[in-house]
Structure 1
Amino acid sequence: RLIKRKGGAEIATIIIEELICASQLILLCNLGKSMGVVLALAGIVAIALATNRLSLAKDSYRMAVLISSATKEE
């Protein structure tokens, strides 16, 4: 982009500000990627725990049915 200003110090200041802005955008993108990975892993863990809990509930139900059928036979 064409800059029409007086003095090299002002141009250098503008270039430094643009570099800082670009580095902040890069950091923000990296943060977004890492947060995406963390949230994906948290989702996988939540699904695994829910599946484990469902299997525990299913086993508990089977045990309750077995106990109730055993007590009815006696």
Structure 2
Amino acid sequence: MYDILILLVGFFLIGLGVWLWFKDMFREGFLLVGFGLLGVGVSFWPTALCLGVFMLFFAAMWTRWEAFRHLKRKD
């Protein structure tokens, strides 16, 4: 029962993330697709779990790069 619910929520998050990509909200779309793939991977497809972890890592590194790119090193 809960596996089907997690699977449906995962597919919903993937669809919402792809819709955000078309609205030019790429980072938010990556986060939603990453969490959606985690949900699908937990209940159905293990490869999606790995893709979800990779996409969340990519979104975190992208956010970190944008937050700190204005800083310069003082050597």
TM-score range, shorter chain: 0.3 to 0.5
Structure with greater helix percent: 1
Give TM-score scaled by structure 1 length: 0.38
Give TM-score scaled by structure 2 length: 0.37
